[in-house]
Amino acid sequence: MNPELVEQITKMVVEKLQTKAAVGSESTVEEVRTKVTNEPAASVEVKFWNHRSNNVEEKCNSDCTESEPEKEIAVEPKPPVGLENPFNKEELDLLISKTPARIGVGRAGLRPKTDTWLKFRFDHAAAVDAVYGDVDPKILESLSLFKVNTKVADKEVYVRRPDFGRKLSDEAKQLINEKCKKSPTVQIIVSDGLSSKAVEENVEDVYLSLNQSLQSLGLDVGTPFFIEKGRVAAMDDVGELLKPKVIVYLIGERPGLVSAESLSAYLCYEPRQGTIEADRMVISNIHKGGIPPVEAGAYIGTVVQKILKYEASGVSLVNKEG
């Protein structure tokens, strides 16, 4: 996205969130987007795929907030995928409009219909690609992120041994020690995690707006970097090395069959060896059909501010906040 637009949206979201008690309300971000882009507010944020449609242009339902330009493919008109004679079509359509799950797709005897099966295979292939793919180095370069590794050598090991992905390699520790500012207030880390596609699609916008939001809140930010084949708890090793107050860890989520490009931000106050999971927190589902990346970045900044105020994150933060 255009950096000026990112800046404007971030500034307005942060201002709004700080003045509103209902932090993170969806109406807030929609209001801001409308104000900045002059486009009418979308009625829903989540992009639902129409699994019953054969028409490429109808793949996304009419409530999509952002539709991707699709390549024109010449397809023979076919009967729609789905139940041919639903008992209550209106009710079924209502249910389908509420969920991206594959419901009401019909069947051919005991089997799924060919189109349903092909769509499933397509989404499954996208999920596999997201897990096994690598993040384009140009993206890391563009954000000036240097790369370090965990104790994982290849993706097969990564999938089978989550414990290895939670530990930085010795070279990584050395490089981080050499290159990074010590004891920053906020340390940002990016990792491919379980979806390199999630990083490729979202990280630039999230990162830009997150940085701007932290800047506008006057917070001191450390030297960011990229952990290849990382798991969430790798932040504990980073915490030991750099002693930041807060870590914001942007990492690819395990792909589902609805989106293979969803990013999460895991946050923790003073993560160290032995940090318990309950003290981490997550803002998940960041992608263009979920929480839009720019708004997510701005929102994460305000959550960091809250973590710093209470000197706690996760369940401890909830307890302190009362």
Cβ-in-10-Å burial (0-12, 13-18, 19+) of 27 comes to exposed
Output 148 or 251, the one with its CB closest to ligand B12: 251
281 within 8 A of 268, measured Cβ to Cβ: yes
Output 12 or 299, the one with its CB closest to ligand B12: 299
User: What is the rounded distance in angstroms from the CA atom of residue 152 to the CA atom of residue 9?
Assistant: 38
Paired with 250 in beta bridges are 190, 265
Is residue 232 annotated as involved in ligand binding? yes
Taking the complex as a whole, the smallest distance from the CB of residue 131 to ligand B12 amounts, in Å, to: 10
* Closest by Cα among 13, 69, 66, 63 to 36: 13
Taking the complex as a whole, the smallest distance from the CB of residue 49 to ligand B12 amounts, in Å, to: 16
Assigned token pair, 282 = 């997550």
Taking CA 268 as the corner, what is the angle to CA 263 and CA 274, rounded to the nearest 5 degrees? 115
Taking the complex as a whole, the smallest distance from the CB of residue 234 to ligand B12 amounts, in Å, to: 8
30 within 8 A of 315, measured Cβ to Cβ: no
Taking the complex as a whole, the smallest distance from the CB of residue 209 to ligand B12 amounts, in Å, to: 19
Output 24 or 106, the one with its CB closest to ligand B12: 24
Q: Which amino acid type is present at position 292?
A: P
Output 8 or 284, the one with its CB closest to ligand B12: 284
Output 52 or 229, the one with its CB closest to ligand B12: 229
User: What is the rounded distance in angstroms from the CA atom of residue 230 to the CA atom of residue 266?
Assistant: 13
Output 118 or 278, the one with its CB closest to ligand B12: 278
Taking CA 90 as the corner, what is the angle to CA 69 and CA 61, rounded to the nearest 5 degrees? 10
Paired with 168 in beta bridges are 150
Can you give the binding site for ligand B12, defined by CB under 6 A? 162, 193-194, 231-233, 251, 253-254, 262, 264, 277-278, 280-282, 284-285
Taking the complex as a whole, the smallest distance from the CB of residue 78 to ligand B12 amounts, in Å, to: 33
φ and ψ at residue 146, rounded to 5 degrees: -85, 160
Taking the complex as a whole, the smallest distance from the CB of residue 230 to ligand B12 amounts, in Å, to: 7
Is residue 253 annotated as involved in ligand binding? yes
Please state the residue numbers annotated as binding site: 232, 253
Binding residues for adenosylcob(III)alamin: 232, 253
